[in-house]
Chain A
Amino acid sequence: MSGYASGIVAILCINLIFAYAVFITAAAGQLNLGAAGFQAVGAYAAASFSNLGWTPGWATIPAAMAVSGLTGFLLAFPVLRTKGVYMVLATFAFGEVVSGILLQTSLFGGAMGMVVPDYLPLSSLVAGAVFATLLVFFLMATRFGLALRAIHDDDLVATVMGVNVRAMQVAVFTIGGALAGLSGALYAHHFSFVEAQYFNSTLSIFVLLFVLIGGTQTAWGPLAGSLFFTLVPETLRIGGSWRFVIFGAAIVLMMVVRPEGMITRTLVARFRRRPAAVKPVAITVGEPHVR
């Protein structure tokens, strides 16, 4: 594989894991506009552990996931007191605070960034991406995933149906934090360098766009979103700013034509050639309903 192609695959893998981190909270109706903050926590944790000389090199990755997952867990409690636009803004503020702290702390190299000694090859990035994808697909197929869908559609009804909404939301924040940390740690090890300026609000906005344009209803959404937005600009080979203009126009049109995202539940159901999950059944009053 040429250097160019492997570079794209690396970015695609990191974007995909990152998109799943944002997706898992969005699947429960929580928009995270500070995802870059979690990614930064993971990247800097991995970089610090690596600089401390941990062996083997990959041991920093679960540790970084634990740190960023814990950050997500701890942040969930105050942030979940807010809803809707406030929630979006609270996570946005979190992202800004993290990058501010990293820029200020000389232990983390400040604006100079940090060099990461241990290099991880492309294959480990691919493994990470496959792991994240399978994990989220698995989660969305369990009762847990069903509960997330219920909260996504209507949290009040979900509560009435016996879903512990708060516990679920804390759980998705923790999982989302850990996955974002995974993407950050892999980024740090593959590119051998981290700097706080990379994990800015633009990155958070872009990853949220990947997820929302891909679709938040099924686990296929982030996959479609990150594939589309990583590969299409590369294949079009349009230079500089025009790329962003076209990207912006695509987003605007997408929201007009298909605001639920590219991949929806009905689309997935159609491809599976199975009846949709909920099918209206005629029930006649007075006699038992027989299948």
Chain B
Amino acid sequence: MTNATAIGAPMKSITTKALVVVVIAAVFALAIALGGRVIAQQIVSGLMLGAIYLTVAVAFTLTIGVLNFLNFTIPSLFMLTGMIAWGLREKGLLGFAGGWAWLVALIAGVVVATAASLVVERFTFRYLKTRHGDATEHAIPLVSSLGFLLIFEHLVILTLGSESQRFSVPFKADIHLFGLVIGAPQLVSLGCALLVVAALTFVLKHTRMGRALRTIAENPEIASLLGVEVTRVVPVLFLLTGLLCGLAAALFTVNYGDVSPFMGDHVGSKAIAAMVLGGIGSIWGAILGGLVVGLTETLSIHFFGGDSVEMIIWGLLLIVIIVRPRGLFGAVAVGKGKL
């Protein structure tokens, strides 16, 4: 397993990767040139949607890259943030915060999601470290996380109801630029997402914790022989997962103003698609994948109607998996090992 080559490491063969980016950018530039302002507006919304997807995709790719664990609780952490934030405001628990109640609510949501993620760590990793030596063992944490998905989703339905709810923010600022409408919160969210991911890349590359994570990605047993305390480093990963999901959900809630117990399912599956498209275990791949999926979504709605989105994105993904299983940026060995 050489996952560490992908996690946070500088991209190898920059030229081919730059080529991929340039080709994708060229396709969209062509679309703008042919389609004019309407298409340009679609691309702007696609990038904003992509910012949400890429943040969640980075959370997915981190857990897979380091632990080879497809964490199915990620959609429910996303949902928890939104629903907890709405629930706190709805039950009138945030009267003290005045005009800032929306922000306090969202921060509380992120905190709850992060705490939930740490609970998940206990049951999917801390208590499950024994290896049973058969081919489906990589499914054990996956199954456990599916269990948590059910628990979180239905606990929220039980306490807060299953309807879609409105989460309003007290400002509405659209920027008009070259005749395009760009929502200020959307712009902030794109910046926020990219900033967090850039910071994460730096942490993985240059800090002690980052090096520990990359060592575990390479080989957990050798990592612990070399003095990495696996039981102390792995929770950090789940902490990051919770924070990234919480951030994405907060941005989503502010942008689109809707929360529901099922809001995570849609975003989660798109983020999985984004991660695979970019290459499992590669952070930059997840970023590119997130943006491509966001753009594909808005453009296919524009051209082929709303029902076509799932089919186009998953069809694209199926083709990518079959033709180039490691995705656009992924390292060869990732996801092929047994761990």
Q: A85-B335, A89-B272, A209-B143 are in contact. Are A103 and B325 (CB under 8 A)?
A: no
Q: Which residue of B lies closest to A94 (CB)?
A: B318
B308-339 vs A, CB cutoff 8 Å, 1 = contact: the mask equals 10111011011001100100000000011110
How far, in Å, is A40 (CB) from chain B's closest CB? 13
Most B CB contacts (10 A, CB to CB) among A78, A153, A216, A241 go to A241
> Do residues B135 and A151 form an inter-chain contact, with CB atoms below 8 A?
yes
* A79, CB-defined interface residue at 8 Å: yes
Q: A79-B322, A84-B335, A86-B280 are in contact. Are A255 and B136 (CB under 8 A)?
A: no
Give CA–CA (A93, B274) in the complex, Å. Answer: 12
A204-229 vs B, CB cutoff 8 Å, 1 = contact: the mask equals 01001100110011000000000000
A83-96 vs B, CB cutoff 8 Å, 1 = contact: the mask equals 11110111011101
The range of chain A's interface size is 35 or more
Interface on chain A toward B: helix, strand, loop, or mixed SS? Answer: helix
How far, in Å, is A37 (CB) from chain B's closest CB? 10
> Do residues B154 and A93 form an inter-chain contact, with CB atoms below 8 A?
no
* B245, CB-defined interface residue at 8 Å: no
Q: Which residue of A lies closest to B281 (CB)?
A: A85
Most B CB contacts (10 A, CB to CB) among A78, A93, A100, A249 go to A93
Binds A, one of B41-49, B145-153, B227-235, B251-259: B145-153
> Do residues A251 and B143 form an inter-chain contact, with CB atoms below 8 A?
yes
Interface on chain B toward A: helix, strand, loop, or mixed SS? Answer: helix
> Do residues B140 and A259 form an inter-chain contact, with CB atoms below 8 A?
yes
Binds A, one of B20-28, B126-134, B179-187, B188-196: B126-134
Give CA–CA (A71, B87) in the complex, Å. Answer: 46
By a CB distance below 8 angstroms, the chain B residues around A94 are 318
> Do residues B136 and A248 form an inter-chain contact, with CB atoms below 8 A?
no
> Do residues B311 and A241 form an inter-chain contact, with CB atoms below 8 A?
no
* B237, CB-defined interface residue at 8 Å: no
* A97, CB-defined interface residue at 8 Å: yes
> Using a CB-CB cutoff of 8 Å, which residues 238-279 of chain A contact chain B?
241-242, 244-245, 247-252, 254-256, 259-260
Q: Which of B130, B158, B310 is in CB contact (< 8 Å) with A245?
A: B158
By a CB distance below 8 angstroms, the chain A residues around B103 are none
By a CB distance below 8 angstroms, the chain B residues around A93 are 273, 276, 314, 317-318, 321
By a CB distance below 8 angstroms, the chain A residues around B2 are none
* B64, CB-defined interface residue at 8 Å: yes
By a CB distance below 8 angstroms, the chain A residues around B134 are 29, 152-153, 216-217, 260
Give CA–CA (A251, B152) in the complex, Å. Answer: 13
> Do residues B135 and A252 form an inter-chain contact, with CB atoms below 8 A?
no
By a CB distance below 8 angstroms, the chain A residues around B163 are none
How far, in Å, is B56 (CB) from chain A's closest CB? 15
> Do residues A85 and B280 form an inter-chain contact, with CB atoms below 8 A?
yes
* A31, CB-defined interface residue at 8 Å: yes
A64-91 vs B, CB cutoff 8 Å, 1 = contact: the mask equals 0000000000000011011111101110
Give CA–CA (A193, B173) in the complex, Å. Answer: 49
* B144, CB-defined interface residue at 8 Å: yes
Give CA–CA (A154, B338) in the complex, Å. Answer: 10
Give CA–CA (A38, B142) in the complex, Å. Answer: 22
* A101, CB-defined interface residue at 8 Å: yes
> Do residues B147 and A245 form an inter-chain contact, with CB atoms below 8 A?
no
By a CB distance below 8 angstroms, the chain B residues around A151 are 135
> Do residues B136 and A212 form an inter-chain contact, with CB atoms below 8 A?
yes
Give CA–CA (A268, B139) in the complex, Å. Answer: 22
* A201, CB-defined interface residue at 8 Å: yes
* B116, CB-defined interface residue at 8 Å: no
By a CB distance below 8 angstroms, the chain A residues around B338 are 84
Give CA–CA (A26, B140) in the complex, Å. Answer: 13
* A104, CB-defined interface residue at 8 Å: yes
By a CB distance below 8 angstroms, the chain B residues around A195 are none
* A118, CB-defined interface residue at 8 Å: no
Q: A84-B138, A93-B321 are in contact. Are A256 and B311 (CB under 8 A)?
A: no
Give CA–CA (A101, B337) in the complex, Å. Answer: 32
* B202, CB-defined interface residue at 8 Å: no
Q: A31-B136, A97-B315 are in contact. Are A244 and B153 (CB under 8 A)?
A: yes
> Do residues A241 and B157 form an inter-chain contact, with CB atoms below 8 A?
yes
Q: Which of B64, B124, B158, B317 is in CB contact (< 8 Å) with A85?
A: B64
Q: A96-B310, A97-B315, A256-B128 are in contact. Are A85 and B70 (CB under 8 A)?
A: yes
Q: Which residue of A lies closest to B321 (CB)?
A: A90
Give CA–CA (A230, B321) in the complex, Å. Answer: 34
> Do residues A244 and B143 form an inter-chain contact, with CB atoms below 8 A?
no
Q: A94-B318, A259-B128 are in contact. Are A251 and B144 (CB under 8 A)?
A: yes
> Do residues A31 and B314 form an inter-chain contact, with CB atoms below 8 A?
no
16 contacts between A and B (CB under 8 A): A78-B321, A82-B321, A84-B336, A84-B337, A85-B335, A86-B276, A89-B276, A89-B317, A92-B272, A93-B318, A103-B307, A103-B310, A155-B135, A208-B143, A244-B153, A256-B123
**Which B residues fall within an 8 A CB radius of A?**
64, 68, 70, 123-124, 127-128, 130, 132-144, 146-151, 153-155, 157-158, 269, 272-273, 276, 280, 307-308, 310-312, 314-315, 317-318, 321-322, 325, 335-338
